[in-house]
Chain A
Amino acid sequence: MKYLEMNHVKKSFDGLDVLKDISLSVEEGEVVSIIGPSGSGKTTLLRCATLLETMDCGDLAYLGESAAAIVDGRSVYQKPAQLAKIREKFGLVFQNFNLFPHFTVMKNITDAPIHVQKRPKDEVYREARGLLEKMGLADKESAYPCQLSGGQCQRVAIARALALNPRVLFFDEPTSALDPELTGEVLKVIRSLAQMHITMVIVTHEMAFARDISDRVIFMDGGVVALEGTPSEVFESDNPRMREFLGHYARV
């Protein structure tokens, strides 16, 4: 089943065309990585998919439920109540975490399940402890975000997103704000999610990681999908823009 489907997405900011007719679909259990030079529109695409940004044109659906459809060449969105229901289907992990600094780790994770989803407290806490264990943060539940390293914060943010049981989890450069020695711990957690067949869309600059865990890789360039396929198809392609892009990494 298609968990996410976006078609003909266009988005411009003050006359600057950032997304030029992009389509993206993700199957249940699939791990899709999006790579590409900075400014190519990766973040904008994720923000459109997660309803943080409105598309100029394009349709968007989760598990067959439409969030927006094209009418006369423009996107028309569903009513807020319907969009709120669709928001439950996905989660997003931000580059800079966006944890709530005045909440403990535990409250960051449990507050939305309890007060938004209205699930029973003890069940939510039990699940949250399980998540923290998986993230290697079992001893941090009463810490505040300011007492944690960047890598720990990002793992809390991942746990916070997972606690709502999203069908699709998006990551926007989850390790870009971290010191190099801390990226490994976050990538390891994401890898473990892939093994659990959680459906994920990951924007990343970690090429080896993307190649390793993805079922499919999308190379974006200049607001279009320049290349799409299995990791080996994409990374071994002789598309000149892809070769040039990878060249920047080879030189580092």
Chain B
Amino acid sequence: MSFSVMLTQLSAGMVKTVGIFALTLIFSLPLGFLICFGRMAKKGVAGKAAGIFFRAYISVMRGTPLMLQLMVVYFGPFFLFGMSIGSNWRFPAIIIGFSLNYAAYFAEIYRSGIESMPIGQYEAAKLLGYSKPQTFFKIILPQVIKRILPAVTNEVITLVKDTSLAYALAYAEMFTIAKQIVASKSDFMPFIIAAVFYYIFNLIVAMVMEYIEKRLNYYH
């Protein structure tokens, strides 16, 4: 197999890798907020129940392997409900599995950011008459985003590499393809190309995150 054919096949896989990456972020970043609010809820019976439920959710999501979670999401409908699972289910299962897992990590990052805010910011906002939503969206959230950006960057970089776990469901993202070519052609080259791809991908991610951090550097 020529180098250029290899490159073409791996590039096709790379597009799918980027797809998993982008969709996971689109779903897990906002979902993390919902989980975070559920986890921090304290008021009333419903609040306490939500707190316990989401604490357990986060604990399980962080305490079991992502690969196993992908399997559960993929095979779950069959084993639990006897539904037939076709290849159409593969990609949604991957996105759901990744999003549910990453949302748990993001929720904990958001929580640490929100809890690190000095109480004085809330009190000043209250004195000035801001409503609770105004206080959160105008005063607290912008500062929390700045505080958690380094931790979010870490997760995002991990996600780039974690996309390769989709090979467990035989989804044709880059790593799966690389492995197939290595096995069938006994040529080590695809792994090296894949490594370079992942590395460049992460370099771009790091640059984007650094840019955002710089943009938020106008105050501290």
> Chain B 130-143, CB within 8 Å of chain A: the 1/0 string?
11001000110011
CB contacts (< 8 Å) of B130 on chain A: these are 112, 115-116
CB contacts (< 8 Å) of B118 on chain A: these are 98
**Residues B128 and A101 in contact, CB atoms below 8 Å apart:** no
**Residues B219 and A160 in contact, CB atoms below 8 Å apart:** no
Chain A: number of interface residues, binned into ranges: 20 to 34
Closest chain A residue to B134, Cβ basis: A115
Distance between Cα atoms of A96 and B121 in the complex (Å): 11
- Given contacts A84-B129, A87-B129, are A111 and B124 in contact (CB under 8 A)? no
Minimal beta-carbon separation of A102 from chain B (angstroms): 5
CB contacts (< 8 Å) of B219 on chain A: these are 101-102, 144-146
Residue of B118, B124, B220 with most chain A CB atoms under a 10 A cut-off: B124
> Chain A 177-212, CB within 8 Å of chain B: the 1/0 string?
000000000000000000000000000000000000
Q: Give the contacting residue for A92; candidates B121, B127, B131, B138; CB below 8 A.
A: B127
Q: Give the dominant DSSP class at A's interface.
A: loop
**Residues B123 and A52 in contact, CB atoms below 8 Å apart:** yes
Minimal beta-carbon separation of A145 from chain B (angstroms): 7
Distance between Cα atoms of A117 and B128 in the complex (Å): 10
CB contacts (< 8 Å) of A144 on chain B: these are 218-219
- Verify if B126 is at the interface (C-beta below 8 Å from A): yes
CB contacts (< 8 Å) of A164 on chain B: these are 128-129
CB contacts (< 8 Å) of B120 on chain A: these are 94, 96, 98
Distance between Cα atoms of A101 and B120 in the complex (Å): 12
Within 8 A of B (CB), among A69-103: 84, 87-88, 91-92, 94, 96, 98-102
Chain B: number of interface residues, binned into ranges: 20 to 34
- Given contacts A84-B129, A88-B129, are A101 and B124 in contact (CB under 8 A)? no
- Verify if B146 is at the interface (C-beta below 8 Å from A): yes
- Given contacts A96-B120, A100-B121, are A50 and B220 in contact (CB under 8 A)? no
**Residues B127 and A50 in contact, CB atoms below 8 Å apart:** yes
Distance between Cα atoms of A160 and B220 in the complex (Å): 20
Minimal beta-carbon separation of A93 from chain B (angstroms): 9
CB contacts (< 8 Å) of B138 on chain A: these are 111, 115
Minimal beta-carbon separation of B123 from chain A (angstroms): 6
Closest chain A residue to B145, Cβ basis: A102
Within 8 A of B (CB), among A117-151: 117, 144-146
Q: Give the contacting residue for A87; candidates B127, B134, B146; CB below 8 A.
A: B127
CB contacts (< 8 Å) of B121 on chain A: these are 98, 100
- Given contacts A112-B129, A146-B219, A146-B220, are A98 and B124 in contact (CB under 8 A)? yes
Distance between Cα atoms of A54 and B127 in the complex (Å): 14
**Residues A116 and B123 in contact, CB atoms below 8 Å apart:** no
CB contacts (< 8 Å) of B131 on chain A: these are 116
Minimal beta-carbon separation of B205 from chain A (angstroms): 25
Closest chain B residue to A85, Cβ basis: B129
Minimal beta-carbon separation of B89 from chain A (angstroms): 44
Minimal beta-carbon separation of A46 from chain B (angstroms): 11
Additional 13 contacts, C-beta under 8 A, given A112-B130, A115-B134: A52-B123, A52-B127, A96-B120, A98-B121, A98-B123, A100-B124, A101-B220, A102-B143, A116-B131, A117-B129, A144-B219, A146-B219, A146-B220
Residues on A lying within 8 angstroms of B by beta carbon are: 50-52, 84, 87-88, 91-92, 94, 96, 98-102, 111-112, 115-117, 144-146, 160-161, 164
Residues on B lying within 8 angstroms of A by beta carbon are: 118, 120-121, 123-124, 126-131, 134, 138-139, 142-143, 146, 218-220
The 5 closest A-B pairs by CB, nearest first: A98-B124, A98-B120, A112-B128, A116-B129, A144-B219
A-B contact pairs, 22 of them (CB 8 A): A52-B126, A84-B129, A87-B129, A88-B129, A91-B127, A92-B127, A94-B120, A94-B124, A98-B121, A98-B123, A98-B124, A99-B124, A100-B124, A101-B220, A102-B143, A102-B146, A112-B130, A116-B128, A116-B129, A146-B219, A160-B128, A161-B127
